Amino acid sequence: MKGAPLRVYAILYLLFLYAPIALLPLFAFNDATIIAFPLKGFTTHWFTDLAANTALRQAVGNSLFIAAMTAVFATLLGLCAARAGAMARFPGKGGIIGFVMLPLVLPEIIVAVSLLIVMRQVLGLNLSNWTVIAAHVLICAPFSIAILNGAFQNLDPSIEEAAMDLGESRFSAFRLVTLPLVWPGIVSSLLIAFTISLDEFIIAFFLTGANPTMPVYIWGLLRFPAQLPVVMALGTILVALSVVLLVIAELFRRRGLARAGIKDTGGFL
């Protein structure tokens, strides 16, 4: 098990991971309607088309709203669970946390159809952005919990007690000591939940109302070959955006570790 062949393998593996994404900008700037080689020439008009597409702009607006709401609610739930997880032990705690984390391993279509049945048939609700938000919070909460758990477990449990011992109330101890220390975790939880929600299609397709989310709209575009270069342009922007968001999330996570004086041991999850 020498390192060199493994390194070559790992690099090839990375190339495999990045191969599809690397094609995105190629076709986004390619002056041809057909997505195929050989490339025809450079153009930016797919991006101008994109900007002119009001339906798409609306879908993007919907998705941003859904993603923002999802991020906030999932992080709030994550904060509750992570704090409870770091604190008291009580019977059934493992089971409850396991149950809350279940959506992580549940096939998404199961979540989608079960919520569809409840929303439409049982509660008789109209599908809207809020039905999508409800579902996205459900699937994003486990990620938020995992991230925030990490942040809380790095905390010395006596640190909040120390603040109380030095004259702070329970609430101000949380505000002055715990919050600053887990703040980076909160930011990265917000960003991760936002990113997941923004990209989620399988569930959104079932639960979306009259106004499609961005992935649902893209799904529609994929059927029209003439629209494909626009999709490529949109994809390029999205990839760039997610990379930026993830870099910020990662920087915050590292800053959190540095602030707590802990050695870095790995990435997300």
Partner 1 sequence: MTALIELEGVNKHYGDYHALRDIDLDIRAGEFFSLLGPSGCGKTTLLRAIAGLEDVTSGALRIDGRDMKGVAPNHRPTNMVFQSYAVFPHLTVAENVGFGLRRDPRSRTEKARAVETALEMVGLGGYGKRRAHALSGGQRQRVALARALILEPKVLLLDEPLSALDRLMREQMQLELIRLQRQVGITFILVTHDQEEALVMSDRIAVMFEGEIGQVADPETLYRKPATRRVAQFIGKMNFLDGRLSADGRAVEIAGLGRAGITEEISRGVSSGPVAIGIRPETLAILFEGESAPRREAEGVISEVVYYGDMTYYDVRVDGIEKPLTVSMKNLIGRPVLDVGAPARLGWDERALVLLPR
Partner 2 sequence: MLLAPPFLYALALLALPILAVVLFSFWTQDFMTIDTGFTLANYREFFDKPIYTVLLGRSLMVSGIVTLVTVILAYPVAYFLSFHVAPARKSLWLFLITIPFWTSYLIRVFLWKVILGYNGVINSGLVGAGIIDEPLSFILYNVNAVIITLAHAFAPFAILPIFVALEKIDRSLIEASRDLGETRISTFFRVTLPLSMPGLVAAVLIVFIPTIGDYVTPELMGGAGGKLIANMIQTQFLQLNNAPMGAAIAIVAMTCVTAIALVFVGLNRRWLRGRG
> Which residues of this chain interact with partner 1, rule CB under 8 A?
156, 158-159, 161-170, 176-177, 180-181, 259-261
Regarding 222 and contact with partner 2 (CB under 8 A), the answer is: yes
What is the nearest approach in angstroms of partner 1 to the Cβ of residue 145?
Answer: 23
Give the whole-angstrom CA distance, residue 149 versus residue 137.
17
Tokens of 33: 């309607």
SS3 42: strand
**Residue 31, CA distances (Å) to 26, 39, 40, 41, 73 in order:** 10, 8, 5, 5, 43
Stretch near partner 2 under the rule CB under 8 A, chosen from 32-40, 47-55, 156-164, 172-180: 32-40
Cβ–Cβ contacts within 10 Å for residue 237, how many? 14
Q: Which of 42, 89, 122, 171 binds partner 2 (CB under 8 A)?
A: 122
Query: Which range, of 27-35, 44-52, 152-160, 172-180, touches partner 2 by CB under 8 A?
Result: 27-35
Which residue in the set 83, 127, 174, 209 belongs to the binding site for partner 2 (CB under 8 A)? 83
Count Cβ atoms below 10 Å from residue 149 Cβ, excluding itself. 19
- Shortest distance, CB of residue 164 to partner 2, whole angstroms? 17
DSSP 120: I
Between residues 74 and 181, which has the closer beta carbon with respect to partner 1? 181
Residues 163-202 that bind partner 2 (CB under 8 A): 195-196, 199, 201-202
Which positions ≥6 away from 97 have C-beta within 8 Å? 81, 85, 145
Nearest to 204 by CA among 191, 195, 185, 217: 217
The one of partner 2, partner 1, none whose footprint includes residue 212, by CB under 5 to 8 A per kind, is: none
Residue (9 or 48) nearer to partner 2, CB? 9
Enumerate the H helices of 91-227 as residue ranges: 93-101, 108-116, 129-153, 158-165, 170-173, 179-199, 202-207, 214-221
Does position 229 bind partner 2 by CB under 8 A?
Answer: no
For the CB of residue 245, give the shortest distance to partner 1 in the complex, in Å.
24
DSSP code at position 166: T
Q: Which of residues 3-22 bind partner 2 (CB under 8 A)?
A: 3, 6-7, 9-10, 13-14, 16-21
Contact positions with partner 2 (CB under 8 A) in 89-108: 93, 96-97, 99-100, 102-108
Residues contacting partner 2: total by CB under 8 A = 89
Cβ proximity of 118 and 99 under 8 Å: no
Q: Does 64 bind partner 2 (CB under 8 A)?
A: no
Q: Does 211 bind partner 2 (CB under 8 A)?
A: no
- Smallest gap from residue 185 Cβ to partner 2 (A): 15
Could you tell me which of 221, 224, 192 has the C-alpha nearest to residue 59? 221
